[in-house]
Chain A
Amino acid sequence: MASPHRKSKFRPIWDFPGFGGLSVGFFAFLYVPILVLVAYSFNGSKFAMVWSEFSWRWYLKLLENDDIHSAAINSLIVAFFAAPAATIMATLAALVMVRGGPFRSRAFTAGLITLPLMVPEIVTAVATLIFFALLNINLGLINIILAHTVFCIPFAYMPIRAALEAMDPGLEVAAQDLYADRWDAFRYVTLPLLTPGIMSGFMLAFVISIDDFIITLMVAGAGSTTLPVYIYSMIRTGVTPEVNAVSTLLLAVSVILVSVYWLLSSANRKGEAIG
């Protein structure tokens, strides 16, 4: 009996028909709006929503907009203070939480660090607003930096803790066996190995700070507008194509930073696989 190749399509039992197509639809849903926004930022038309031709004109116009410049600079100042502050605190906390042995306030600290993730943003925003207003703290950008530092801590903390947990504590023991004291072991073994994790944490904190809108909107006083808040006011006062261009730039910054973070952490994963 000759056995030709079988004709019927075989499908492993865990392979559900249609799920592949639905997944394509899922990714399309996630990305088509972003791509539409990016495409429209190169729209030559004066009307934000009507397509005419490819043009850089709105990007050129951004160059001339002083308000956008100062908003962007404010955003960068805030992120460059809030992200490092949060990263330093998160690093110290992660070191204690992962390598600090057992201690009583561990669960409390873990809860405290995740608290900013749990509370709805709008609640944090108004609570912070009330706090600053009632205590009469009115330090312009510093108010924003303080508020950002708080919710950046958990985002910086997560990758740093993960990197520390993945690190072999035997390495520090080995360093101490080779006559390093505890500080040397930290300085020459733990810290260099933890650097990619700390960089990842910084990257995420930076992105979260740059992108924050609601808390900044509520906390920011006059003259301390950040880029997202400025974009919001542009949208409110009438949609011009300039919004598309500045939005695209903001998207690009986030995507680049998060991609760098991903490459850093996947390099970490590969290192582990070898080690």
Chain B
Amino acid sequence: MRKNVAVDIQQVTKIYGTGNAAVTAVNNVTLQIYDNEFLTLLGPSGCGKTTLLRMIAGFEDMTKGHINLFGEEIEDLPPNQRPVNTVFQHYALFPHLSVYENVAFGLRRLKKSEAEIDHRCKEVLALTQMEALAERRPSQMSGGQQQRVALARALAPNPKVLLLDEPLSALDLKLRQAMRDELKQLQQKTGITFIFVTHDQEEALAMSDRIVVISEGKVQQVGTPQAVYEAPANRFVANFIGEANMLEASCKTTGKNMTFTLVGGGTLKISTPDVAAGDAVTIMIRPEKVKVLAKTGKKTTPSSLQMEAKVIEQTYLGSVTHLDLACDGQTLKACINQGAHASFATGDEVLIEIPADNCRVLRS
């Protein structure tokens, strides 16, 4: 099935200031965002993700590049002529207008009929479960309620694309988790393309169809949540999303199955197309894929590497326990399920196993 491109970002660069004071916020980003998808721009603060969003909304100028919306050039249109709406980070609700009038604001500017405005306002207020508070002022509402109004206000004009700028960051944890599910459902119900900006990897993994990982103004990886978690494109992505153990290694033989020799000794056979013989690489393995066995334990999978290690710290987290292990002069992290294995004590000598199938080879 061919997907329709909603937002086409072509070689967009944004530079603030000039001369020595110039700062590149967005560096030559090319990205296609499809119709009806939930796309997340994920990155640390200051990485340029919000700048990118603001350029789509029209609040910022591009230094170079083009942005097309459903095949039409929009870069010369002011924000009030772009068929996109934004949910702002701190909501930016109009304090002098009631909830209803906030939601009706965009429709009124579009010169809709009073009947149409009323119908649409009631519709989106129902969608966000805010009908009961329509006559309230924003100042009389909790953060979660303001959040819903901001959402209703942005959805009311039925935009082709909805931009969400860290909309959950001001909410407390419980509310944030509830809103995640709701946002996802809302996107599926309305069929509107959502572009969601966040620095919270959990949020990104939980909601997105695709995640765009951005760092220092550049796209590091685009992919489904599974892809960016299980097959990160580089060290930045591996470290930013979830936790990762990094093992330095060198590539030994060519062929379909390559052999990687770790700096600390030991070899792993992994099939990967990306590297050539002689390359210095990093082998990444997630903590929950590291197996921890008693010293007398037996190898559980044939294509894995076993090493001796010592438990230096353990953190009990309820459903799982995190272990810090000293192994060949470096610290490895492991994450074990409660009850699945015998528990370990700090100072225990153990055996760890690194399954080759779960390793990911990254160029150094």
A positions within 8 Å CB-CB of B: 1, 3-6, 8, 10, 12-13
Please measure, in the bound complex, the distance between the C-alpha atom of A195 and the C-alpha atom of B78, giving whole angstroms: 52
Please measure, in the bound complex, the distance between the C-alpha atom of A5 and the C-alpha atom of B61, giving whole angstroms: 11
A8 neighbours in B (Cβ, 8 Å) = 76
Nearest-neighbor residue (CB-CB) of A3 within chain B: B64
Given A1-B10, A3-B11, verify A13-B61 contact (CB < 8 Å): no
B59 at interface (Cβ–Cβ under 8 A)? yes
Please measure, in the bound complex, the distance between the C-alpha atom of A6 and the C-alpha atom of B11, giving whole angstroms: 13
Nearest-neighbor residue (CB-CB) of A7 within chain B: B76
B80 neighbours in A (Cβ, 8 Å) = 13
Q: Are B75 and A13 in contact (CB under 8 A)?
A: no
Given A13-B78, A13-B79, verify A5-B10 contact (CB < 8 Å): no
Given A8-B76, A13-B78, verify A3-B66 contact (CB < 8 Å): yes
Q: Are B66 and A1 in contact (CB under 8 A)?
A: yes
Q: Are A3 and B76 in contact (CB under 8 A)?
A: no
What is the distance, in angstroms, from B223's C-beta to the closest C-beta of chain A?
A: 25
Please give the number of chain B residues whose Cβ is less than 8 angstroms from any Cβ of chain A in the complex. Answer: 16
Please measure, in the bound complex, the distance between the C-alpha atom of A3 and the C-alpha atom of B11, giving whole angstroms: 8
Given A12-B59, A13-B59, verify A5-B64 contact (CB < 8 Å): yes
Contact of B61 among A1, A3, A4, A10 (CB under 8 A): A10
Please measure, in the bound complex, the distance between the C-alpha atom of A6 and the C-alpha atom of B76, giving whole angstroms: 9
Q: Are A5 and B63 in contact (CB under 8 A)?
A: yes
Given A1-B10, A1-B11, verify A6-B62 contact (CB < 8 Å): yes
B61 neighbours in A (Cβ, 8 Å) = 6, 10
Of the A-B pairs whose beta carbons lie under 8 Å apart in the complex, a sample of 8, sorted by A's number, is A1-B11, A1-B66, A3-B13, A6-B62, A6-B63, A13-B58, A13-B59, A13-B78
B65 at interface (Cβ–Cβ under 8 A)? yes
What is the distance, in angstroms, from A143's C-beta to the closest C-beta of chain B?
A: 50
Extra inter-chain contacts (16) besides given A1-B66, A3-B10, A6-B61, CB under 8 Å: A1-B11, A3-B11, A3-B13, A3-B66, A4-B64, A5-B63, A5-B64, A6-B62, A6-B63, A6-B64, A8-B76, A10-B61, A12-B59, A13-B58, A13-B59, A13-B78
B62 neighbours in A (Cβ, 8 Å) = 6
Q: Are B10 and A6 in contact (CB under 8 A)?
A: no
B79 neighbours in A (Cβ, 8 Å) = 13
Please measure, in the bound complex, the distance between the C-alpha atom of A3 and the C-alpha atom of B9, giving whole angstroms: 12
Please measure, in the bound complex, the distance between the C-alpha atom of A3 and the C-alpha atom of B15, giving whole angstroms: 14
Q: Which residue, of A4, A5, A10, has the highest number of chain B Cβ atoms within 10 A?
A: A10
What is the distance, in angstroms, from A12's C-beta to the closest C-beta of chain B?
A: 7
Contact of B75 among A4, A5, A6, A12 (CB under 8 A): A6
What is the distance, in angstroms, from A39's C-beta to the closest C-beta of chain B?
A: 40
A3 neighbours in B (Cβ, 8 Å) = 10-11, 13, 64-66
B9-41 interface (Cβ within 8 A of A): 10-11, 13
Please measure, in the bound complex, the distance between the C-alpha atom of A1 and the C-alpha atom of B12, giving whole angstroms: 12
Could you give, for residues 187-198 of chain B, a 1 whenever the CB lies within 8 Å of some chain A CB and a 0 otherwise? 000000000000
What is the distance, in angstroms, from A7's C-beta to the closest C-beta of chain B?
A: 9
Could you give, for residues 302-344 of chain B, a 1 whenever the CB lies within 8 Å of some chain A CB and a 0 otherwise? 0000000000000000000000000000000000000000000
B156-211 interface (Cβ within 8 A of A): none
What is the distance, in angstroms, from A13's C-beta to the closest C-beta of chain B?
A: 6
A10 neighbours in B (Cβ, 8 Å) = 61
Please measure, in the bound complex, the distance between the C-alpha atom of A10 and the C-alpha atom of B11, giving whole angstroms: 19
Nearest-neighbor residue (CB-CB) of B61 within chain A: A10
A6 neighbours in B (Cβ, 8 Å) = 61-64, 75
Please measure, in the bound complex, the distance between the C-alpha atom of A185 and the C-alpha atom of B133, giving whole angstroms: 53
Please measure, in the bound complex, the distance between the C-alpha atom of A13 and the C-alpha atom of B92, giving whole angstroms: 15
What is the distance, in angstroms, from B136's C-beta to the closest C-beta of chain A?
A: 27
Please measure, in the bound complex, the distance between the C-alpha atom of A218 and the C-alpha atom of B136, giving whole angstroms: 55
Closest 4 CB pairs of A and B: A10-B61, A3-B64, A3-B65, A8-B76
Please measure, in the bound complex, the distance between the C-alpha atom of A4 and the C-alpha atom of B11, giving whole angstroms: 11
What is the distance, in angstroms, from B92's C-beta to the closest C-beta of chain A?
A: 12
Nearest-neighbor residue (CB-CB) of A4 within chain B: B64
What is the distance, in angstroms, from B35's C-beta to the closest C-beta of chain A?
A: 22
A4 neighbours in B (Cβ, 8 Å) = 64
Nearest-neighbor residue (CB-CB) of B62 within chain A: A6
What is the distance, in angstroms, from B203's C-beta to the closest C-beta of chain A?
A: 28
Please measure, in the bound complex, the distance between the C-alpha atom of A185 and the C-alpha atom of B11, giving whole angstroms: 64
Please measure, in the bound complex, the distance between the C-alpha atom of A196 and the C-alpha atom of B219, giving whole angstroms: 54
A5 neighbours in B (Cβ, 8 Å) = 63-64
Please measure, in the bound complex, the distance between the C-alpha atom of A12 and the C-alpha atom of B11, giving whole angstroms: 22
What is the distance, in angstroms, from B206's C-beta to the closest C-beta of chain A?
A: 33
Nearest-neighbor residue (CB-CB) of A6 within chain B: B62
